């Protein structure tokens, strides 16, 4: 059995933390842990830390999963692990098998991480991006959660009026990074057929991709399948059209004197110039750094006042205050 993961400890919040506190902690730590903010030689280690952070937020930010996680508890999970698969639910009789199986909505398939799931007997898979949730997560939740490319729950609905009989629509959920990069994606349709879909770089929310002859059968032949792109919310960026928005912190002396600061983009960190006399909330525009080359990345600068100061720093601030 996998080791128990303390998601509250990973996020650095208490067990009574509010949704707002959890979201704030995640955003703060996500900027710190993101692999792109570290040297290439350290990326592998930071990638693992970022995966743990993302997994913790996936659970604690979702009311249902958080309730399940709290109900299981560390003691209950460890008893289950020590028993080799048998556990005693609180106040109930012991039983064999996985005591959490009633929580599991989906079953993952495939050999490369989270490259597919089953829902109601129909298999949908997409090896485009993996959520890489841990064995601990899977032992409790199975496939509850997201973080991987795949069909949404609206597969098989009739296409919009005006389209031919037999045409169907399906939502295809993508991570922001995958939508930005584009490329080939393999999908297994409910009829068992595997198709390769070419996604254009910078594909936007609501974009339709037509798969000719992949819809429902009719007397005159198969209709078409229209994939409607749905982009998942991101930990660091807010998406509006082709534009991205991100908050970035700068130190008071950098804001006052000017300098440079690294800003994470979907193509990796870039160095930007912070003008002297920068005020809290100032926005910088990085053209061509949005979801697509047509979009921009808007950076909101937030001045970060140090929580603790050395004696020398205190003296410097005191001398600065006397000049007012």
Instruction: Kindly list the domain boundaries of the chain, sorted by start residue.
Output: 104-232, 238-303
Q: Write out the DSSP string of 128-155.
A: T------HHHHHHHTT-S--S-EE-TTT
Q: How far is CA 322 from the centre of its chain?
A: 47
Q: List CB contacts of 123: < 8 A, sequence separation 6 or more.
A: 109, 116, 117, 188, 190, 192
Q: What is the CA radius of gyration of the chain?
A: 24
pTM check: above 0.85: no
The partner residues of 185 in beta bridges, in order of sequence, read 197
The 10s digit of each residue's pLDDT in 79-137 is 656 554 433 333 333 323 344 443 433 222 222 222 222 222 222 333 333 345 787 88
Distance of CA 179 to the CA centre of its chain: 13
Contact residues for 209 (Cβ-Cβ < 8 A; gap 6+): 172, 197, 199, 203, 226, 227, 229
Measured between alpha carbons, how far is 163 from 97 in angstroms, rounded to an integer?
Answer: 49
Structural fold of domain 104-232: HSP40/DNAj peptide-binding domain (2.60.260)
Confidence category of residue 14, pLDDT binned at 50, 70, 90: very high
Q: Look at the alpha carbons of 46, 47, 53, 57 in this order and tell me if their dihedral is positive or negative.
A: positive
DSSP SS3 for 255: helix
Comparing C-alpha atoms, which of 40, 187, 202, 32 is closest to residue 109? 187
Distance CA 163, CA 130 (A): 34
Rounded CA gap, 230 and 228, in Å?
A: 6
Q: Are 61 and 143 in contact (CB under 8 A)?
A: no
Q: Which helix (H) or strand (E) holds 222?
A: strand 221-222
Pure H helices in the chain: 7-11, 19-33, 43-60, 63-82, 135-141, 176-181, 252-257, 311-322
For residues 234 and 223, the answer to whether their CB atoms sit within 8 Å is: no
CATH code for the structural domain at 238-303: 2.60.260.20
pLDDT, tens digit, 9 for 90 and up, residues 135-179: 788 777 654 333 333 454 445 555 555 566 778 888 888 888 889
From CA 63, how far away is CA 8, in angstroms rounded? 14
Q: Which of 187, 173, 203 lies closest to 266 in space, CA to CA?
A: 203
User: Mean pLDDT over all residues of the chain?
Assistant: 75
Instruction: Evaluate whether 104-232 and 238-303 have a shared fold.
Output: yes
Q: Read off the pLDDT of each residue in 238-257 and give the average, rounded to a whole number.
A: 91
């Amino acid at each position: 059995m996998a080791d128990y993961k303390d998601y509250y400890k990973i996020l650095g919040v208490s067990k009574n933390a509010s949704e707002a506190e959890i979201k704030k902690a995640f955003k703060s730590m996500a900027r710190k842990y993101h692999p792109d903010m570290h040297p290439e030689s350290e990326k592998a280690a930071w990638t693992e830390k970022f995966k743990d952070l993302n997994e913790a937020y996936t659970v604690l930010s979702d009311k249902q999963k958080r309730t399940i996680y709290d109900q299981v508890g560390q003691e209950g999970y460890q008893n289950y692990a020590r028993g080799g698969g048998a556990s005693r639910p609180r106040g109930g009789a012991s039983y064999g098998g996985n005591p959490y199986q009633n929580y599991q909505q989906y079953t993952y398939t495939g050999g490369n991480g989270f490259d597919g799931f089953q829902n109601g007997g129909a298999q949908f898979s997409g090896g485009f991006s993996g959520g890489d949730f841990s064995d601990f997560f899977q032992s409790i939740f199975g496939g509850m959660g997201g973080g991987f490319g795949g069909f949404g729950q609206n597969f098989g609905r009739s296409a919009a009026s005006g389209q031919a009989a037999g045409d169907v629509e399906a939502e295809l959920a993508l991570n922001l990074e995958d939508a930005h990069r584009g490329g080939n994606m393999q999908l297994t349709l409910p009829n068992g057929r595997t198709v390769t879909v070419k996604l254009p770089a910078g594909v936007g929310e609501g974009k339709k991709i037509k798969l000719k002859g992949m819809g429902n059968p009719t007397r005159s032949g198969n209709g078409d399948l229209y994939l409607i792109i749905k982009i998942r919310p991101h930990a660091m960026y807010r998406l509006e059209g082709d534009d991205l928005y991100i908050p970035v912190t700068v130190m008071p002396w950098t804001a006052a004197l000017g300098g440079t600061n690294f800003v994470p983009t979907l193509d990796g960190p870039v160095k930007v110039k912070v003008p002297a006399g920068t005020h809290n909330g100032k926005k910088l525009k990085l053209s061509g750094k949005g979801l697509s080359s047509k979009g921009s990345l808007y950076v909101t600068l937030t001045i970060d006042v140090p929580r603790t100061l050395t004696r020398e720093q205190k003296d410097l601030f005191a001398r600065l205050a006397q000049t007012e």
